[in-house]
Amino acid sequence: MTRILNILRHNWLQKIIALVAAFFMWIFVMEDQDPAIDGSYSVPLTMSNAPYEFIAICDEKTVTLKTRAPRSYFVRYDANAFRVYANLDGMDEGTHRIIPQVVMPQGFELLETTPAAVNVTLDPLIERQIEVELKTNGTVAQDAAIKSVDKSMDIVTLVGPKSFVEQVDKVYGTVNLSGNSSSFDMQIPMNAVDAEGNAVPRVHVVPSVITVSVDIESGLRHKIVPVIANLTTTDGWELTKITVEPAQMEITGVESVINPIVTLRTVPFTVQTGQRVFKGTLKLDVPEGVTVPNDEVTVTASVIRKPVMRDTAER
């Protein structure tokens, strides 16, 4: 022990100078062999401390970090070693401009973030009930007709950010008929769309799938029935010489549907006064399950005043 202490005490100044020189030599070598370089990482942006009753919406999904570190660090670490988050603590409904917070491994220097700030919208999470509509794709077999279409539920629930849920105009599912000649059940997904028919993002339909039962009857029947114009006019006027072209129409459907039908009527229409002759094209009120070659007819009628009934009683 005494010998070791004597060694340390002997020429101690030279020994310290040697250690300092060795340290600087080591730094010089390391900088030459492992120099500091610049590099970039693309890191997912996460939301932190968002109020539970809100949905945080941000168009920016990732943030690019420009960093500086020894070359070996870029080999050692990938983007998973970094974290970028927007701190929403204490914020309320609306859009907020937030500077992303960055957490990275020791030894890295952050030079720049792109973008430097992001817009985050806090949107209340709401629910809304809406009626389900059905669309059909294709047609049943030639000798078959649809008797009824039943849904497992008529109302579904929309769940999502308020501003997106309010955009939903309707929820529909598509039933693929595609030549079916017998009854069938199928599960169809629900689609939430806006008034222009575009899918609304960030909205979940609950349930997302419903069951539809399609009752199909085979054996079509044909029948010719007269067409009647369903016309009215204002008080004090009446319609005469009403004609319909064509006066008869062939209807097609399964026997149980078309047997009770004795006439086809147009949709109700009120003829305006001030014209002596009415002529127009009116749509037919076609019952469900019935097909016709043309759903429009031409109707003409004369418009006249009702005769005034005078009191002929003795004065």
Q: Cα–Cα distance between 303 and 300 in angstroms, integer? A: 10
Cβ-contact 242, 226 below 8 angstroms: no
Q: Cα–Cα distance between 259 and 236 in angstroms, integer? A: 38
pLDDT of 148: 84
- The domain limits of the chain are 2-32, 36-116, 124-218, 221-305
pLDDT in tens, the chain (315 residues): 565 555 555 655 665 665 655 555 555 545 556 788 999 999 999 999 988 889 999 999 999 999 999 998 998 999 999 999 999 998 999 999 999 999 999 999 999 999 999 999 999 999 999 999 999 998 887 777 787 899 999 999 999 999 999 999 999 999 998 878 888 999 999 999 999 999 999 999 999 999 999 988 777 788 999 999 999 888 788 888 999 999 999 998 878 888 899 999 999 998 887 778 889 999 999 998 788 999 999 999 988 887 766 555 544
Maximum distance among all alpha carbons in the chain? 159
What's the CATH class of domain 124-218? Answer: mainly beta
Q: Does the domain made of 36-116 have the CATH classification 1.10.238.10?
A: no
pTM of the model: 0.58
pLDDT of 315: 45
* Phi, psi of 72, deg, nearest 5: -65, -25
Same fold flag, 124-218 and 221-305: yes
pLDDT of 5: 52
The CATH fold assigned to 221-305 is RNA Polymerase Alpha Subunit; Chain A, domain 2 (2.170.120)
Q: Cα–Cα distance between 295 and 259 in angstroms, integer? A: 19
pLDDT of 179: 78
